[in-house]
């Protein structure tokens, strides 16, 4: 079927058990090593089985389900086989539907951005917002990115979606700047995934969007996660340098979860470290979390970077972060990600924390 994928069609089977016996026999063959140029090579095989009593109308569907079961066997990590069943069928169908819907979502204008306030801890004012993607699914309603971001990436849709959200965030920021000239600085942070960094000329896109929307580069922050950065540090560094030359600030997201090395941290043109929520949320309850947050803030400051803490959920979190000299905070304690109108009311109110 593919370089490392094979299909066996067993006909005239009396029972599924017979197919399982064939699968067992194949597995046993793999237990003996293959000799290649005098060296012993060990291979394992993951297998998926399906049976024509599932009511198939075409060979493709049979292969599709066998493949689904095979992937299940593969992700379970053990060698062996998995038999396709009704539950898997339903999951596969749901996934196919989500894929089909997702392919049309951009065209149907179903994506939205919500904005979560970022508060300057010294003054307590809103200093910016982070744009967070939502999918207004026609049946399931407002859907969060954890449901669809991975699939969108697999389908190669992230570049287009990323471009849309970037343009939309810039457009909205221009509107807020015009409506609330007294709220300055007001920045917008946009999440950019590694895929987008790899696929497209991000710097050119960013520049074009700035020109088209009239947003000042200094009002823009680009967030990339620490783990994305570490997957391809050379390429990301290159793009970050281009972004820096446009005078746009960058932010290393989910910091503390991605194993970045100190040498990269030192070299990267990064303005902000964003401490991951998993540490911030445990502040006050857990001494280790306090120690980690403290060290990240000291490290960032020593390297001339600023710190944003995300996942601020209680007044106690806020008090601790303030006492540690953390510059910015973001989290449910201040506000959840909000639709445009609610951000506008918040900005109009001049609310402080």
Q: Which two tokens stand for residue 22?
A: 């064939």
Return the number of the residue (84 or 255) whose C-beta is nearest Ca ion. 255
CA angle 108, 111, 116 (to 5 degrees): 165
Interface of this chain with ligand C2E, residues 268 to 327, rule: CB under 6 A: 277, 310-313
d(CA 137, CA 147): 11
Pick from 103, 98, 182: nearest CA to 147: 98
Return the number of the residue (89 or 351) whose C-beta is nearest ligand C2E. 351
Cβ atoms of 307 and 299 within 8 Å: the answer is no
Cβ-based neighbour number of residue 267 at 10 Å: 13
Pick from 309, 353, 341, 337: nearest CA to 116: 337
Residue 191 contacts Ca ion per CB under 5 A: yes
d(CA 185, CA 127): 6
CA angle 27, 33, 37 (to 5 degrees): 140
Return the number of the residue (101 or 253) whose C-beta is nearest Ca ion. 253
- Kindly state the DSSP code that residue 2 receives in the 8-state scheme: B
Residue 101 contacts ligand C2E per CB under 6 A: no
The partner in contact with residue 311, picked from ligand C2E, Ca ion, none with C-beta cut-offs of 5 to 8 angstroms by kind, is: ligand C2E
Q: What is the closest distance, in whole angstroms, from the C-beta atom of residue 132 to ligand C2E in the complex?
A: 4
Choose which of 98, 253, 318, 330 interacts with Ca ion (CB under 5 A): 253
Interface of this chain with Ca ion, residues 63 to 122, rule: CB under 5 A: none
Pick from 55, 42, 39, 47: nearest CA to 19: 47
Choose which of 101, 226, 254, 327 interacts with ligand C2E (CB under 6 A): 254
SS3 annotation, 31-65: HCCEEECCEEECCCCEEEECCHHHCCCCHHHHHHH
Q: What is the closest distance, in whole angstroms, from the C-beta atom of residue 320 to ligand C2E in the complex?
A: 14
Work out the angle between the directed axes of helices 145-154 and 158-179 (0-180°, nearest 10): 130
Residue 163 contacts Ca ion per CB under 5 A: no
Interface of this chain with ligand C2E, residues 158 to 177, rule: CB under 6 A: 162, 165
The partner in contact with residue 145, picked from Ca ion, ligand C2E, none with C-beta cut-offs of 5 to 8 angstroms by kind, is: ligand C2E
Which range, of 16-24, 40-48, 189-197, 235-243, touches ligand C2E by CB under 6 A? Answer: 189-197
Which range, of 19-27, 201-209, 259-267, 331-339, touches ligand C2E by CB under 6 A? Answer: 331-339
Return the number of the residue (143 or 191) whose C-beta is nearest Ca ion. 191
Choose which of 193, 249, 250, 260 interacts with ligand C2E (CB under 6 A): 193
Interface of this chain with ligand C2E, residues 198 to 237, rule: CB under 6 A: none
Which range, of 188-196, 299-307, 319-327, 342-350, touches ligand C2E by CB under 6 A? Answer: 188-196
Residue 193 contacts Ca ion per CB under 5 A: no
H or E segment to which residue 167 belongs: helix 158-179
Contact residues: ligand C2E, CB under 6 A: 116, 132-133, 144-146, 149, 162, 165, 191-193, 253-254, 277, 310-313, 331-332, 337
């Amino acid at each position: 079927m593919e370089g490392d994928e094979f299909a066996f069609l067993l006909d005239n089977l009396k029972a599924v058990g017979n197919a399982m016996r064939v699968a067992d026999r194949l597995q046993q063959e793999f237990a003996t090593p293959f000799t290649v140029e005098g060296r012993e090579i060990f291979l394992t095989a993951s297998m998926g089985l399906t049976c024509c009593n599932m009511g198939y109308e075409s060979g493709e569907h049979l292969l599709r389900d066998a493949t689904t079961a095979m992937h299940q066997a593969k992700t379970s990590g053990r060698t062996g086989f998995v038999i396709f069943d009704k539950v898997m069928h339903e999951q596969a169908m749901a996934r196919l539907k989500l894929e089909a819907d997702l392919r049309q979502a951009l065209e149907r204008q179903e994506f939205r951005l919500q904005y979560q306030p970022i508060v300057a801890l010294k003054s307590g004012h809103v200093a910016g917002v982070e744009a967070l993607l939502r999918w207004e699914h026609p049946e399931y309603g407002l859907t969060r990115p954890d449901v669809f971001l991975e699939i969108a990436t697999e389908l190669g849709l992230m570049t287009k979606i990323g471009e849309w959200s970037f343009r939309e965030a810039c457009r909205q920021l221009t509107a807020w700047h015009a409506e609330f000239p007294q709220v300055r600085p007001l920045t917008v942070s946009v999440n950019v995934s590694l895929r987008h960094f790899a696929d497209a000329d991000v710097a050119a896109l960013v520049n074009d969007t700035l020109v088209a929307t009239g947003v000042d580069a200094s009002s823009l922050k680009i967030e990339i996660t620490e783990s994305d950065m570490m997957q391809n540090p050379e390429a990301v560094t290159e793009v970050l340098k281009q972004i820096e030359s446009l005078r746009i600030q960058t932010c290393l997201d989910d910091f503390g979860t991605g194993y970045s090395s100190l040498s990269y941290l030192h070299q990267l043109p990064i303005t902000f470290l964003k401490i991951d929520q998993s540490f911030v949320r445990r502040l006050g309850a857990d001494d280790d979390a306090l120690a980690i947050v403290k060290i990240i803030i000291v490290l960032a400051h020593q390297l001339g970077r600023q710190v944003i803490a995300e996942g601020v959920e209680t007044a106690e979190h806020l008090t601790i972060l303030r006492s540690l000299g953390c510059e910015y905070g973001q989290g449910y304690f201040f506000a959840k990600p909000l639709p445009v109108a609610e951000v506008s009311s918040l900005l109009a109110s001049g609310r402080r924390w």
